[in-house]
Amino acid sequence: MTRLSETGVAGGIAAVSVLVGLVVAFDDPQVNLAAGVVWTAATGMVLLRVRGWVREARSDEPPEPGPLLRLAELDYDPRYDRYLGVVLFVLGIAAFAALLVVDTSDSNALFLVGVGHFCLIAALGAVALSER
């Protein structure tokens, strides 16, 4: 990668992390700076780790042995991917449906929307990667 694109990626990670922190801090009438700082740091750490995974996947060097590599080498029945996709889909829909019946004050609504999006995207990935 060029130096400019490295700076752009780092700036993008910082901007997204700060945006998430600001949303969490100012989502209620009473400002919660501690929660905003925690969410900013957590989001930044997750995005940096994902960036590292992408860089490792793009490199020509073999990956370092670790728990994820050992997990990827496990042999299992491929039809479990479809079952996992169905379970994740149901969990995602349930998280969005819970918005109608759960008290959505505080950060419950943000948490449920996050879980719903994560489950639906993971369900799509599981079904797309499953063998037919």
The band of 93, judged by pLDDT with boundaries at 50, 70 and 90, is: very high
pTM of the model: 0.47
Please give the share of the chain, as a percent, with pLDDT higher than 70: 77
Quick one: pLDDT at residue 90? 93
Q: Output the average pLDDT for the chain.
A: 77
- pLDDT reported for residue 4: 47
Q: How far apart are CA 6 and CA 124, in angstroms?
A: 29
User: What pLDDT does residue 64 have?
Assistant: 67
Q: How confident is the model at residue 72 (pLDDT cuts 50, 70, 90)?
A: low
* Rounded percentage of the chain residues whose pLDDT exceeds 90: 5
pLDDT digits (tens, 9 = 90+) for 41-64: 888 888 888 777 777 766 777 666
